[in-house]
Amino acid sequence: LTLAAEAGNALLLENDQLKQDYQNIQSHNSILKANLASMEAKLEDLLANEEKYINKIEALQVKLQDTLLQLEKSKLQQVELQNIFEEHDQTQGHLILQYSEKISILEKSLLKLNDEKHHLQEIANETPTPKCYDTSETQTFLYLTTTLTTPLLLEVTQLRKRQE
């Protein structure tokens, strides 16, 4: 009987120990379940944030591609505009050269016409010299004066008036 009592006591002690271990394990299990639930919630938040950030990254990549395309278009337009201005500069340069040549030719013509005008004015301002025509026996001396009113002189003076 003593042996049975000792075995009963030992079994009771072991049972109490097992109950306490069971409670400790239950408590630890509850803590682990709470941690697991917390971790799962964090994981869900992280997955949601990851999805949100992935969407933002994709949107930013689309914006970046659009911006790069716009930049490329701007560069092409800038090159086209530069080519247009260069062509315009070249045509303006050619026109300037042509006009300067025309101006030079016109200045030379003007100088030549002025020289002719002055020459004709000098001739016109000179006193007319009487010309003496001696015809044979019927007349004595006949004096004629020649005046110089040529159409060229009139034309030169008209050109001069137009220039002024």
Residue pLDDT, tens place only, 70-128: 999 999 999 999 999 999 999 999 999 999 999 999 999 999 988 988 888 888 777 55
Q: How many domains are contained in the chain?
A: 1
Distance CA 148, CA 132 (A): 17
Q: What is the span of the domain harbouring residue 82?
A: 2-163
Distance CA 101, CA 103 (A): 5
**Contact indicator for 144, 131 with CB cutoff of 8 Å:** yes
- Is the confidence at residue 160, as pLDDT, over 90? no
Residue 40, Cβ neighbours under 10 Å: how many?
A: 10
- Is the confidence at residue 11, as pLDDT, over 70? yes
Distance CA 97, CA 52 (A): 67
Q: Read off the pLDDT of residues 20-76 as tens digits, 9 standing for 90 and up.
A: 999 999 999 999 999 999 999 999 999 999 999 999 999 999 999 999 999 999 999
Q: What angle do CA 52, 53, 54 make, to 5 degrees?
A: 90
> How many helices and strands, by DSSP H and E, does the chain display?
2, 2
